Structures are given as structure tokens and as C-alpha cells.
Amino acid sequence: MLLIALCLAGCNSAKTNFIYSLTCGTSLEVQHETDKKQGYYKKSKHNDITFIFLSEFINDNIEVFVNDKLFFSKENIVQKTNDLSAYFNYDYSNLDTMPIIKIKSKQNESCCDFVLQKGYRIAYIFYYQEKWIIRYSNIEYALY
């Protein structure tokens, strides 16, 4: 678990900025993966993104809303470290404007919301030291 967090959060290959959630009152660290030498390039449709929840969400109940409509809900989303079932796909190809994504964590009693960004195939989501982090990437890491 620590290795994944260090790999994802500690790499110097990501551009980082901080934004405030639109309605949740929390800050969100947004990272953009720039190193294309590690991992495997994820191939998918051009306007499709996979959200992957990392081990910080063990036994958590997660709800994801897209433009205020419940899109994804799962109890005990991550059941063990490196559980690869903690993900969902979202296709935004039929939208004129990028949607607002809102993620709620029952365990952390927190949420974040943000406008989805184009050009990435993966969004790694984690909650570390009471801070939401999303890392946009086109690289799929071997998490197992």
C-alpha cells in the first residue's frame, strides 16, 4: 500500500495543482502524469476514462455523482490492499461540456467534486492525510 502511494504521489513526473471542490468545501490535489516510461499505456476509446480507487478506501462506502445524478455506488469498495475491483468507467463522448464529478466517502465523512478533464484514460483517486488526490494519467500501473 505504501509503495503504491509513494509511486503515485511521490513521482516527480506529475504536474500538481490544488483546487477547491465546487460544493464540498475541501481542497483537491490534481496531478497530471507526464512520465510515459513507467507502466503500460492504457488503450481505450478516446472519450472514455477509468476511475480507480486506491487502498485508502478499504471497507469504505463510495458514491459517485455525475452532474448531480448517482452514477456509481459501492459498499466496501476496496476489500484489501491492491484490490483491482475498485474502479468504474465513464464515457463522456456524447456530452457537449465536461461533467461535474462528485465523490463521497462515508468512512472519511468527506467529499470532493470537480470538472472532469479531457485527454486522460485513467483517474487514480486516493484520500491521504485528510486530502483528496486525483491523478490523471494514460499509464496503467501493475497494482498487484
For residues 46-56, average pLDDT: 84
- pTM score of the predicted model: 0.80
Confidence at residue 79, expressed as pLDDT on a 0 to 100 scale:
66
The whole-angstrom separation of Cα 111 and Cα 143 is 24
Confidence at residue 119, expressed as pLDDT on a 0 to 100 scale:
84
Angle CA 18–83–78, to nearest 5: 65
- The confidence band for 7, taking pLDDT boundaries of 50, 70 and 90, is very low
**pLDDT of residue 26 exceeding 90:** no
**pLDDT of residue 136 exceeding 80:** yes
- Beta strand ranges found along the chain (DSSP E): 14-20, 27-33, 40-41, 48-53, 62-66, 69-74, 87-91, 100-105, 110-115, 122-128, 131-137, 139-140
- The confidence band for 12, taking pLDDT boundaries of 50, 70 and 90, is very low
Confidence at residue 11, expressed as pLDDT on a 0 to 100 scale:
46
Kindly report, residue by residue over 70-87, the tens digit of the pLDDT.
999 988 877 666 656 688
* Closest by Cα among 108, 34, 103 to 68: 103
In the chain, the percentage of residues whose pLDDT exceeds 90 is 33
- The confidence band for 6, taking pLDDT boundaries of 50, 70 and 90, is very low
Please give the mean pLDDT across all residues of the chain: 80
